[in-house]
Amino acid sequence: MPHLTASLGFALVAFGMVLTPGPNMIYLISRSLTQGPAAGIVSLGGVALGFVFYMLCAAFGITALLFAVPYAYDALRLSGAAYLLWLAWQALKPGGRSPFQVKALQVDGPRKLFAMGFVTNLLNPKIAMLYLALLPQFIDPSQGSVLTQSLLLGSIQIAISVSVNAMIALGAGAIARFLGTRPTWLLVQRWLMGTVLAGLAMRMALETRRA
């Protein structure tokens, strides 16, 4: 079982990343605004399946990697920290794009909505980096099976991401109207997320290697 501190830390990372605009959020919001909340939820089902795919691949891959390569942990730690800093910059840089700026999407049926959500998530570099570089930082072999810890932490990420994205998909219209008349809230959100992600990146970069 992962340590409680590791579980809470990874939950915070997952929460910060799901609130940082990326391909999944932009697609789900655009789909909900152009075709309705139900279409957004169906699309989210495909996104959730993509999370499960990444979780299983990463769980078995990380298990093998951490035992086979002595310095794999340090390589993943530094690459993960660098990616968090890049996400922080994307949130803080001037002229950042709001995900509530709708993309024009054609009306599609449930099967295509599900498939597009799945493919969008598979091609999302943010999720790939989350599982391949960030998740290993919260795994401690001394706490038990690496595979079990990977699956439990991955399940935490999936629960957080699906819950937050479901609320965003269902409330996309109201959120877009609210932010459209209050641009200051967008700025506050960007600075808050950027600061959190930068802090996590520094903590990860300075962390000593586990025995």
156-205 pLDDT per residue, tens: 999 999 999 999 888 887 776 666 666 676 677 667 767 776 776 777 67
pTM for this predicted structure = 0.71
Residue 207 is predicted with a pLDDT of 63
Six-digit token string for 90: 């994307």
Q: What are phi and psi of 36, to 5 degrees?
A: 105, 155
Instruction: Assess if residue 211 is contained within a domain.
Output: no
Q: What does the pLDDT average to over 106-132? A: 84
SS3 108: coil
pLDDT band at 97 (very low <50, low <70, confident <90, very high): low
- Helix ranges (H only) for 93-145 are 110-122, 125-129
Instruction: Assess if residue 102 is contained within a domain.
Output: yes
Q: What does the pLDDT average to over 127-132? A: 77
Rounded CA-CA distance 93/206 in Å is 24
The total number of structural domains in the chain stands at 1
Q: What does the pLDDT average to over 62-89? A: 67
- Predicted confidence (pLDDT) at residue 210 exceeds the cutoff of 50: no
pLDDT band at 49 (very low <50, low <70, confident <90, very high): very high
66 or 30, which is more confident: 30
Identify the domain containing residue 136 by its residue range.
4-206
Q: What does the pLDDT average to over 63-76? A: 62
Single-letter residue type at 97 = R
Rounded CA-CA distance 48/83 in Å is 22
Instruction: Assess if residue 183 is contained within a domain.
Output: yes
